[in-house]
Amino acid sequence: ISGRAAIFERKNLLPAPSFHVDLILDASASLLAIESDIAIEAYILAKSLENNGIRNRILSYQTVEDTTVVTILKDDDDPCDMKQIFRYKAMGWNRDGLFFKAYPTLLDGKAPQLSIVLTDANPSDFKPLAGKGLRPGKAYSDKPALEDTVRYLDALARKNVKILALLNSDHVDNADTLFRHRFVKIQKIEQIAHV
């Protein structure tokens, strides 16, 4: 019986599933000390996804002056190229709320099945949030920054965008506020495979 292919083998003639993952890298200056670790983590994840036939894209974001800059380090159909991914550069601030507010425009009408954020979960900017009327603006850090970011993460969740986080810092309370237990803390690169 072991030689009968009809019983023990099945050919799958269907194309690979159209599963899609976005890897989103926080590129604020607070991550400068572990910049290469984050690039390595992103490369490992992207290469693993590619090896399993899962399309993926890598974005990084940072706030410079009044602008949140989004860089596409790897697009969906690009092969996983270490040189491209290692263009990741940490600098500036991170007004996370602005990135997540703009994120739907980067989705071209269809959300990925999963978005994974590599972050320190510490949104901050030296420019304050604009105040209403004559009120002075609040500093974009601590509770106001977290509330701003949560507002846009919640809006994405209502659009069925699933966001998880890999935490590269000790800001576990912030990560819990932002991602509500949908995060894993990584202390060293070797943990990526286990996580």
The 10 Å CB-count burial string (b at 16+, else e) for 148-177 is: bbbebbeebeeeebebebbbbbebeebbeb
Tell which phi-psi region holds residue 121, choosing left (phi > 0), alpha (psi between -120 and 50) or beta: left
Q: Over its length of 195 residues, how does the chain's per-residue pLDDT go in tens digits?
A: 556 666 656 665 555 557 789 999 999 999 999 999 999 999 999 999 999 888 999 999 998 877 889 999 999 888 899 899 999 999 989 899 999 999 999 987 777 789 999 999 999 888 776 656 555 667 888 899 999 999 999 999 998 899 999 999 899 999 999 999 899 998 888 777 777
Give residue-wise pLDDT tens across range 5-36.
666 566 655 555 577 899 999 999 999 999 99
Written as six digits, the tokens of 5 are 């292919």
Written as six digits, the tokens of 72 are 């596409």
> What strands lie across the sheet with 20-26, from one edge to the other?
67-74, 55-64, 20-26, 114-119, 163-167, 183-185
pLDDT of residue 115: 95
- 116 strand-pairing partners: 23, 164
Closest residue by Cα to residue 39 from 82, 102, 72, 98: 82
Q: pTM, whole model, 2 decimals?
A: 0.85
Name, in order, each residue with C-beta under 8 angstroms of 7's C-beta and a sequence gap of 6 or more: 1
